[in-house]
Amino acid sequence: MIVFLVLGFTPWLLLLTLALALYLTVIELRELDLHFTHWAFWLLLVFLTHFVGYLILRGYSVYRHRALAGP
């Protein structure tokens, strides 16, 4: 989002990758079965930070799956 503000316009390729990141985030969040406030947090994080936020979500997802699986 910061890039959009600095440039003054939004290139279509950045909008496409943002839409892809948000789509992948929704798919990942459906698997995690979180409360809607956590959904809002993750969606806003990905919206504001783009793929960096999505990579953080993937890391959290892997950590949560391993923690729930146990030793």
Name the packing angle between helices 12-32 and 51-69 (round to 10°). 10
**Residue 1 binned pLDDT confidence (cut-offs 50, 70, 90):** low
Domain that includes residue 48, residue range: 2-69
Query: Does residue 23 have a pLDDT over 90?
Result: yes
- Alpha-helical (H) ranges within 33-50 are 36-49
> Reduced to 3 states, what is the DSSP secondary structure of residue 1?
coil
**Residue 2 binned pLDDT confidence (cut-offs 50, 70, 90):** low
The pTM (predicted TM-score) of the whole model is 0.76
From residue 16, give the alpha-carbon distance in Å to each of 40, 49, 50, 51: 21, 14, 11, 12
Token pair for residue 14?
Answer: 């950045």
Q: How many domains does the chain have?
A: 1
Q: What pLDDT score was predicted for residue 40?
A: 93
Mean pLDDT value across the chain: 86
Token pair for residue 18?
Answer: 């943002």
pLDDT tens column, 38-65: 999 999 999 888 888 888 988 998 898 8
Q: Which amino acid is at 14?
A: L
